[in-house]
Amino acid sequence: MKSTLDPGYISGSLLTCPSRPLQTWDLEVTTKPGKLTVAVLRGQQGRCLLVDADGTVRCGHPASGRQSQFVLEVHSSGAWSLQHLESKKFLESDGEDVFCVCRELTRRHMWMPQLAMHAHVVLFNPSSRLYARTDPELNRVWVDTPVPYCEECGFVLRLRCGVCHLETSNHKYVSRLEKLAKKPSAETAFHLNLRPGCLAFLTDREGHILYPQGSRGLLCLGDCPEDNEEWFVIKRCPQWVSLRTRAKKYMDSEVYAGSKKATPMTTFLFHVSPDAQTVQLKDINHKYLAQREFQSVMADGCSKEPETHFSILWHYGKIFLRALNGRYLGTLPVGLVVARAMQPGPHEEFGLRLANRSFLLLRGCYGYVGSSSCHEALQCNLLEPDCIELLPCKEGIYHFQSRGKSFWCLTSEGTFSPWGKFALNFCVEIRGNNLLAVLGPNGYFLRADREGCLVADSEEVTCECLWEF
């Protein structure tokens, strides 16, 4: 679980002075005998938060495991306290420095966690084992979906001024009323009560709890949740895709390309290996595509089978998939998908589309992509993301549109403005799990410049060209 920590009632942040940005920590939690929750805070460079004998707090590699371990306790206010396991002293801050010298718990030792994961999420309810889903027609949210393959299962967490606004896939907001609101306001502001493991529940200003109710699981306010039904696990919005052949027909879970329309059966979870060299495709029935005997391809595999891994080759937003037998996936004249081509050609090319996203929120090395009142060009170091509306064009190509319905345009300096009148072509290439690269209309990849400007000037995909989405 990635989180940021703010000292409660103190205008500072962990290991920074008040004017600097929040530090992000990966929280590794274990349960010790006696039901103690023990946490290790690991920074972005892989170093742990350590406490020395004199109470000094620093980052480094622990000499012993206990040097980096803290007992984590969640208090009724939602604040956390972190007690060093070895010295029994509590972590605190004076607004500039962080230290660990006191064994008596006071309000100075309270820390307010903030979720640091990407803002585009899905909400899983462990009690019902179902996901939340927006109903655009009825303007409500239901907790009724076993597999979050549809766009309506995605939500955007807007964290502002200590409260959370939950934006739906159609850009409305969950409110204290049962129906969705058009704009964020005091009626859409909820307190995010966060626990380790990305567990959370939402309460309004009067303490009423948001949880699924009734036989259909309507998400609304109440006071008497049962069986922990108010808890949700906040997860990254998964990357579901559809694959379309050159004949403009979608491949389905029967491994047949016959439909001209996208359906749940033509939707696959696109899982990328850690080295980004192979992918696995899982259908909504939790079965993986696998290469079988006689060059056949079946949707009957399990995740650990090597036959379910396909090497991937990107070509301007389109992909070629090579099976374990060394041959490329392609379609026969009747539409059947097989792995028989030694070299990739037109019949082995698949157009890839994001099946559960009509917009992107891009976050790079230095922050989110969006417009700023201080700059004419699009920036890539913002705390709040802008929605980039996706308009599918030809296979593998999208037009990028801002919320004002104008298009992204490219300047002579290789930067971007959100006020263009004409649509330009962008190619989206998935290069990891929830990571993509964008090929700009000038033939260069979009890159996050350290100075904060979004530019299209990279010939290769570097770390500055990878975007969380």
Q: What CA–CA distance (Å, rounded) separates 323 from 318?
A: 17
Asked whether residue 434 is domain-assigned, the answer is yes
pLDDT surpasses 90 at 45: no
Same domain, 383 and 450: yes
Contact 298, 288 (CB under 8 A): no
Q: How far lies 182's CA from each of 138, 160, 359, in Å?
A: 14, 17, 18
Instruction: Summarize pLDDT for 271-286 with one digit per residue, the tens.
Output: 999 988 999 999 999 9
Q: What is the mean pLDDT of the chain?
A: 91
Asked whether residue 63 is domain-assigned, the answer is yes
* pLDDT for the residue 4: 55
Residue 312 sits in a domain whose CATH number is 2.80.10.50
Asked whether residue 7 is domain-assigned, the answer is no
Same domain, 174 and 282: no
357 vs 46, higher pLDDT: 357
Same domain, 92 and 50: yes
* pLDDT for the residue 32: 80
* pLDDT for the residue 1: 57
Asked whether residue 14 is domain-assigned, the answer is no
Same domain, 261 and 201: no
Same domain, 230 and 250: no
Same domain, 95 and 67: yes
Same domain, 105 and 127: no
End-to-end CA gap in the chain = 17
Same domain, 253 and 310: yes
pLDDT surpasses 60 at 15: no
Backbone angles phi, psi at 319, to 5 degrees: -130, 155
Here the tokens at position 308 are 């379910």
Backbone angles phi, psi at 421, to 5 degrees: -95, -20
Q: What CA–CA distance (Å, rounded) separates 18 from 5?
A: 13
pLDDT surpasses 50 at 93: yes
Q: Span 408-418, mean pLDDT?
A: 93
Q: Final residue of a domain: which of 201, 236, 271?
A: 236
Q: Span 182-205, mean pLDDT?
A: 93
Q: Which residues contact 5 (CB under 8 A, 6 or more apart)?
A: 13, 14, 22, 23, 25, 80, 111, 112, 113, 114
**172 is in which domain, residue-wise?**
120-236
* pLDDT for the residue 3: 53
Same domain, 297 and 343: yes
Q: Final residue of a domain: which of 68, 84, 111?
A: 111
Q: Span 383-400, mean pLDDT?
A: 91
pTM: 0.89
Q: How far lies 406's CA from each of 388, 414, 469, in Å?
A: 11, 18, 21
Look up residue 17 and give its amino acid: C
Asked whether residue 78 is domain-assigned, the answer is yes
Q: Final residue of a domain: which of 211, 236, 261?
A: 236
Q: Span 185-195, mean pLDDT?
A: 94
Instruction: Summarize pLDDT for 160-181 with one digit per residue, the tens.
Output: 888 999 999 999 999 999 899 9
Asked whether residue 376 is domain-assigned, the answer is yes
Asked whether residue 449 is domain-assigned, the answer is yes
Q: What CA–CA distance (Å, rounded) separates 163 from 172?
A: 17
pLDDT surpasses 70 at 22: no
* pLDDT for the residue 161: 81
Backbone angles phi, psi at 346, to 5 degrees: -60, -35
pLDDT surpasses 90 at 467: yes
Q: Are strands 155-160 and 120-125 parallel, antiparallel or unpaired?
A: antiparallel
Same domain, 255 and 347: yes
Q: Which residues contact 406 (CB under 8 A, 6 or more apart)?
A: 418, 419, 420, 421
Same domain, 450 and 415: yes
* pLDDT for the residue 10: 24
pLDDT surpasses 70 at 20: no
Q: Which residues contact 145 (CB under 8 A, 6 or more apart)?
A: 130, 131, 132, 133, 153
pLDDT surpasses 80 at 12: no
∠ CA 335-340-341 to the nearest 5 degrees?
100
* pLDDT for the residue 19: 33
Same domain, 184 and 124: yes
- Structural domains of the chain, count: 4
Q: Are strands 435-439 and 467-468 parallel, antiparallel or unpaired?
A: antiparallel
- State the DSSP H helix or E strand holding residue 399, giving kind and residue range, or none if neither: strand 397-401
Q: What percent of the chain has pLDDT over 90?
A: 75
Asked whether residue 300 is domain-assigned, the answer is yes
